Amino acid sequence: MSNYFPTGDNINFGNRVASELRRYGFSKPFVIDTSRNGNGSNGQWCNPAGRRIGTPSQLGGGAEMLLWLKTPGE
């Protein structure tokens, strides 16, 4: 999961998807791209101004990993 949504929103979405998958016998971890979500979304979807990097890469955090998948600031 990625984009400019706050990490907490992405975690909630990932957990809902994982919960649905478990109903069908699947167990899938997920990762969250935090490279651009440190300032949340301002409603723009394409290169909104004023965004900041989010949580540094780490294991856990509500997902299997939080990662900077894109170059911060890209």
pLDDT tens by residue, the chain, 74 residues: 567 888 899 999 999 999 999 999 998 889 998 888 888 888 887 777 888 888 888 888 778 898 888 876 66
Check residue 72 and report its DSSP letter: T
2 in a structural domain: no
59 in a structural domain: yes
Expressed as residue numbers, the domain containing 17 is: 7-41+51-67
33 in a structural domain: yes
72 in a structural domain: no
Gap between the Cα atoms of 20 and 51, Å rounded: 32
1 in a structural domain: no
Gap between the Cα atoms of 6 and 44, Å rounded: 14
61 in a structural domain: yes
One-letter-per-residue 3-state SS of 12-67: HHHHHHHHHHHHCCCCCCCEEECCCCCCCCCCCCCCCCCCCCCCCCEECCCCCEEE
pTM over 0.85: no
46 in a structural domain: no
What per-residue confidence (pLDDT) applies to 2?
61
